[in-house]
Amino acid sequence: MSETDILQTIEDYAQAACLAQDAGYDGVEVMGAEGYLINQFAVPRTNQRADEWGGSTANRARFATEVVRRVHQRTGSSFLLIYRLSMLDLVEGGGTWDEITFMAREIEAAGASIVNPYVGWHEARVPTIATMVPRAAFVTLTARLKKELKFPVVASNRINDPSVAEEILARGDADLVSMARPLLADPDFVKKAISGRALEINTCIACNQACLDQAFAGRVSSCLVNPFACNETELLITATVQKKRVAVVGAGPAGMACASTAAERGHEVTLFDSGSKIGGQFNLARKIPGKEEFAESLRFYRNRLANANVRMELGRRVSAADLVRSHFDEVVLATGVTPRVRDLPGVDHPKVVSYIDIIEGKKSRVLASRSSARVASGSMSQSFSLILNTERTTPPGNSRRSGELIFPLTIVVVSSLSARSSRVAKCGCCNAAQSELGKVSRRRQAGSDVRCSVGAACT
């Protein structure tokens, strides 16, 4: 960028803030983290300049401080100015701690009201917001930064529970807590927390599939656990004008969403599942190392189903004849998928196990040889590898180097999935919700009619 470009860009930041102020906003946040332009000026990784905008720590901080100073001058002291600071770049050539604290103090002096530290560039290979990252994993770093500054400091990154936020504030690790994805998952997060209904919060599971992944792909962001996010004007759920008796077969995520939505609309709903508890294969997914947050979705639906007065028939494999005899007005099949056993020589050998056998402990995870083989691809194979890596053991008297894995038996995991036949009436108004939940059947893509996950909303 030329000197002229830099000065114009600084003015552009200020003009954008003024437009927000004119529109009635109380403040703005200047993005100085995550590897975006201001962050690029701040670190030697990307700033190779030899003029007054590069080189020394002070010069590399100049662009950020001038942006803040100009925004503050144009908007006034009563307008909230938050600065998003990268307190840990997690890339080679990123800022040192001394440089980061210097930047924070300069930002404070330039007129920022609050600093909101963030961890990691988008290019960083270290996970910072994915589900395997522990809750509030970087708050100790925030607390360290807070000691260096006089103005309020915000804690962020993987804070998705009100009790975690309260603990951070009670310890004095931060002055405020910021959340983004948790409010996509549940826009009533704060209201529920204040009113003592934390168990009813639809918790963000940090999957990033419908928010960040879609944003980076140029599509509308939403939320995997809340498909209504950013679709509020399209997915309209209203009270029914004709109460019906609805049977939902299958208590996995799709079945639970369908049953609770239909009941909340005013229908009389019975939810069937052959398992003894709700969740379907979500109960398997939550046992994968790093996916423990999935249990929060089950907690949410457990409470939602109870509050909606959904009758649950668990531990019962309902038949078509049972459904006919019960005279339901509508039946929704949400029975999910079953493993497809491949036709391979030796597939019936005792050493061959499925992913369900391993996850549920039906077959011992610690068997008799030193290696395992996986006949699969994609996320299930990766998840299975995580289980073995996490729960590896060392036989008595056998030493191993740190990081060396012991797999005591050759295991072939057959884990391909096939959908059960579940052809029912098409749910026209909720196709978008089905898509956002990531549950679109390949049969729909082939032109078949398949009811969506909130299908009973349309009955």
**Which tops the pLDDT comparison, 418 or 218?**
218
The pLDDT of residue 341 is 75
Q: What is the rounded average pLDDT of the residues 227-255?
A: 95
Claim to verify: residue 161 and residue 284 sit in the same structural domain = no
The answer to the question of residue 433 being in a domain is yes
- Residues 358, 321 share a domain: no
Examine residue 156 and state whether it is found in any structural domain, yes or no: yes
Q: Do 391 and 426 lie in a common domain?
A: no
Query: 296-332 burial, b for 16+ CB within 10 Å, e for fewer?
Result: bbbebbbbbbeebebebeeeeebeeeebeeeebebbb
Are both 361 and 326 inside the same structural domain? no
Exposure pattern of 137-159 as b/e (b: 16+ CB <10 Å)?
bbbebbbebbeebebebbbbbbb
| Interval 340-373: pLDDT, tens | 777 788 888 877 777 777 787 776 554 433 456 6
Q: Report the distance separating Cα 56 and Cα 6, nearest Å.
A: 18
Percent of the chain with pLDDT over 70: 79
User: 418 or 234: which carries more pLDDT confidence?
Assistant: 234
Domain boundary among 130, 146, 179: 179
Tell me what pLDDT residue 339 has.
74
Residue 236 domain-assigned (yes or no): no
Look at residue 357 in the predicted model and tell me its pLDDT: 79
End residue of a domain, out of 162, 179, 196: 179
409 and 274 share a domain? no
The answer, yes or no, to whether residue 435 has pLDDT greater than 80, is: no
- Out of 136, 164, 179, a domain closes at 179
- Let me know: does 394 contact 406? Beta carbons within 8 Å: yes
Determine the average pLDDT of the residues in 407-424: 41
- pLDDT surpassing 80 at residue 195: yes
The tally of domains found in the chain comes to 3
246's CB contacts (< 8 A; 6+ apart) are 259, 262, 267, 268, 269, 270, 328, 329, 330, 331, 332, 456, 459
**For 266-377, where are the alpha helices, taking DSSP H only?**
282-285, 294-307, 320-325, 355-359
Q: Tell me whether strands 80-88 and 311-314 are parallel, antiparallel or unpaired.
A: unpaired
Q: Give me the catalytic one of 36, 83, 301, 355.
A: 36
Q: Is residue 52 part of a domain?
A: yes
Res 252 pLDDT > 60: yes
CATH code assigned at 309: 3.40.50.720
419-436 exposure pattern, b = at least 16 Cβ within 10 A, e = fewer = eeebeeeebeebebbbbb
The model's pLDDT over 291-338, given as tens digits with 9 standing for 90+, comes to 899 999 999 999 999 999 999 999 999 999 999 999 999 999 999 887
* Across 61-86, average pLDDT: 97
Examine the domain organization and report whether 40 and 124 are in the same domain: yes
Q: What is the pLDDT of residue 156?
A: 94
Question: Does 237 fall in a domain?
Answer: no
User: Quick check: is 36 catalytic?
Assistant: yes
Residue 133 belongs to what domain range?
Answer: 3-179
Residues 365-394 have pLDDT tens digits of: 544 334 566 565 566 666 666 666 665 543
**CB burial class (10 A; 0-12, 13-18, 19+) of residue 227?**
buried
- Rounded to the nearest integer, the mean pLDDT of the chain is 84
Instruction: Locate the DSSP E strands across 203-361.
Output: 245-249, 268-273, 311-314, 330-333, 337-339, 352-353
Is 175 in the same domain as 155? yes
DSSP string, 395-453: -TT----TT-----S--EEE--EEEPP------GGGHHHHHHTT---HHHHTT-----T
* Shared domain check, 255 and 157: no
> How high is the pLDDT of residue 117?
96
pLDDT at residue 263, as a whole number: 97
154-180: average pLDDT: 96
In this structure, is residue 170 part of a structural domain? yes
- pTM for this predicted structure: 0.79
How high is the pLDDT of residue 283? 92
Identify whether 239 is part of a domain.
Answer: no
Tokens 């457990």 -> residue: 302
Locate 207 and state its tokens.
């999957």
Tell me if 59 sits within 8 A of 53, measured CB to CB.
yes
Cα–Cα separations (whole angstroms), residue 452 to 75, 303, 332, 425, 455: 48, 22, 9, 9, 5
Q: Are residues 410 and 426 in the same domain?
A: no
Pairing mode of beta strands 27-32, 80-88:
parallel
Same domain, 309 and 448: yes
Whether 282 and 391 map to the same domain: the answer is: no
Greatest mean pLDDT among 170-174, 398-402, 419-423 lies in 170-174
Pair (426, 409) in one structural domain:
no
Distance CA(403)–CA(390), nearest Å, equals 11
Domain assignment present for residue 296? The answer is yes
pLDDT, tens digit, 9 for 90 and up, residues 22-31: 999 999 999 9
User: Where residue 289 falls among pLDDT bands split at 50, 70, 90?
Assistant: confident
Q: Bridge partners of 247?
A: 270, 331
